[in-house]
Amino acid sequence: MRLDYKPLFVKAYQMDLNLTTLAKESGISRGHLSRVKNGSENLSVDHLLRLAQVLLIEYNKIGELFHVVEEPQTPSKKKIEETASAHRAEDQMRRRAEDQMRRRMSDRRGYRTDALV
């Protein structure tokens, strides 16, 4: 779960503040603001308050700007290992069945096919 910071940047755009100006006014690096805008990083409370001050947002109104974005759940390491183990077991069973089929076929023909491979 993370916050969507887009409303802050919309407000900055409405105030004719580009990212560079917003960075200078707030004391936050332009790179960090860019990553926040792109959704790859979050803001600390301190940075959020600095931006609110620059954007003339009352502190008690900050929460009204945001909505929570649910991030897709990534499978746990245990679940990934269980799935991989199940796939390995299926592959092993398939190979055994193929080997048995080869042996049966070779017994019927009188020669072994696995010797040819």
Domain endpoint, select from 31, 52, 69 = 69
Q: Do residues 58 and 106 share a domain?
A: no
pLDDT digits (tens, 9 = 90+) for 48-65: 889 989 999 888 888 777
β-sheet bridge partners, residue 3: 68
Do both 113 and 65 map to the same domain? no
The model's pTM: 0.55
DSSP line for 69-112 = EPPPPPPPHHHHHHHHHHHHHHHHHHHHHHHHHHHHHHHHHTS-
For residue range 63-96, list pLDDT tens digits in order.
777 765 666 677 777 888 888 888 888 888 888 8
Catalogue the long-range contacts made by 15-21 (C-beta closer than 8 Å, 24 or more residues apart): 15/55, 15/56, 17/54, 17/55
> Does 64 share its domain with 10?
yes
| Domain ranges, residue 113 | 75-117
How many domains does the structure of the chain reveal? 2
pLDDT tens sequence across 3-57:
778 888 998 999 999 999 999 999 999 999 999 998 888 888 899 889 989 999 8
